[in-house]
């Protein structure tokens, strides 16, 4: 029973486009590999990488001149690089990141057949290329897993303690849980993300559509709840399984997330405490999420005169307050003097009357 169920889960997990959406061709001038449907770009490289399972996977690497992070994107179960190419280029531009995408074994022009274990070997080969071929450091890498891609993403993330961050896009709790609402993990299940998410030590962003009919939004919500270091999730109202990129909130939220995790940990949050209700990690400055570092420095310089003005205003207010106090004290002093004067006059009047009374009494006594 277990073997049959596992086989069913695997068949439901992988739908490589048939035929593939692209072919590999060599550029006549440079000899570099290209995807047949796209012209050569100076900042895009197409690669073929060997895996420990004996297959060769096709990958594409996009450079960004201002990047401080590299995104490793594991796509969904019914797409290949030809279909993801334009999105990858756009993400690199808008997020200002280097981006590495790849086709699983059996997808696109990658050799072999798709399976859970092959995808683990595939992402390991791509990660190794990023480190050795492009000099990417673990601390600068963001793993991004979409749908079935959340499986290899979390499997790798659970073994890398110093990652910059993880993004889970319409993720699955496990292969079996997509088909049946099981309450525990079975040995024959595939992509047991529900068990691996708790081993991830970096910030985790979850994006899921509330109207997803393929993988229910409850999968994303439970994974977010189980993650150690939660970032503010994005539940896209009305979003389906394959259209989240078209929602304006998608790219805005991703920009904010990348900007936040690129800051040192001590500068990521507005205060020492996270939100008490959901323990979300919030970026300290929303207004500067979409500008370059130079703009942020320029903004900082413009803020300094405001601080100086604030100090002058504060001193002015203090001066006005002191003046009011002085006037008030003067009024009190005048009132005190007036009271003293009245009391003195009253005292003299009383003394005079008493003296007159005493003399009158003396006259009466002598008479």
Nearest partner of 16 among 70, 52, 58, judged by Cα: 58
Strand segments, DSSP code E, in 148-214 are 165-169, 203-209
Residue 144 belongs to what H/E stretch? Answer: strand 141-146
* 309 alpha-carbon distance from chain centroid: 34
Coil vs helix vs strand at 166: strand
Residue 34: phi and psi, rounded to 5, are -135, 155
Whether 295 sits among the annotated catalytic residues: the reply is no
- The active-site residue out of 150, 212, 253, 259 is 212
Whether 147 sits among the annotated catalytic residues: the reply is yes
Residues 51, 116: contact at Cβ < 8 Å? Answer: no
- The active-site residue out of 75, 208, 219, 241 is 241
Coil vs helix vs strand at 1: coil
Q: Tokens representing 153?
A: 């993403």
Residue 136 belongs to what H/E stretch? Answer: none
Residue 120 belongs to what H/E stretch? Answer: helix 116-134
- The active-site residue out of 147, 170, 174, 227 is 147
Q: Could you give the residue numbers annotated as active site?
A: 147, 212, 241
């Amino acid at each position: 029973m277990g073997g049959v169920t596992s086989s069913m889960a695997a068949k439901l997990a992988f739908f490589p486009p048939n035929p593939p959406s692209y072919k590999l061709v060599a550029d006549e001038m440079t000899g570099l590999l290209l995807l047949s449907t796209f012209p050569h770009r100076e900042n895009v490289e197409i690669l073929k990488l060997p895996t420990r399972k004996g297959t060769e996977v096709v990958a594409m690497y996009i450079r960004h001149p201002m990047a401080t992070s590299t995104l490793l994107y594991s796509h969904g179960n019914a797409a290949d690089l030809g279909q993801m190419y334009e999105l990858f280029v756009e993400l690199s531009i808008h997020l200002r990141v280097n981006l590495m995408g790849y086709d699983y074994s059996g997808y696109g022009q990658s050799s072999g057949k798709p399976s859970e274990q092959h995808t683990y070997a595939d992402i390991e080969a791509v990660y190794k290329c990023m480190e050795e071929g492009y000099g990417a450091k673990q601390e600068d890498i963001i793993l991004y897993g979409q749908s079935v891609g959340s499986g290899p993403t979390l499997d790798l993330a659970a073994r890398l303690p110093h990652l910059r961050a993880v993004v889970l896009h319409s993720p699955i709790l496990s292969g079996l849980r997509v088909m049946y609402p099981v309450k525990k993990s079975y040995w024959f299940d595939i992509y047991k993300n529900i068990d691996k998410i708790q081993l991830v030590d970096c910030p985790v962003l979850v994006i899921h559509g509330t109207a997803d009919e393929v993988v229910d939004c409850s999968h994303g919500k439970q994974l977010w709840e189980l993650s150690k270091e939660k970032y503010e999730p994005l539940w896209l109202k009305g979003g389906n399984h394959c259209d989240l990129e078209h929602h304006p909130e998608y790219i805005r939220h991703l920009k904010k997330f990348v900007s936040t995790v690129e800051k040192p940990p001590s500068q990521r949050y507005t205060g020492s405490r996270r939100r008490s209700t959901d323990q979300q990690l919030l970026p300290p400055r929303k207004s500067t999420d979409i500008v370059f570092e130079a703009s942020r420095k320029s903004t900082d310089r413009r803020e300094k005169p405001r601080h100086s003005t604030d100090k002058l205003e504060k001193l002015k207010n203090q001066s006005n307050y002191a003046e009011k106090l002085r006037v008030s004290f003067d009024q009190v002093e005048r009132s005190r003097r007036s009271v003293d004067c009245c009391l003195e006059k009253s005292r003299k009047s009383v003394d005079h009357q008493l003296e007159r009374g005493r003399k009158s009494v003396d006259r009466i006594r002598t008479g």
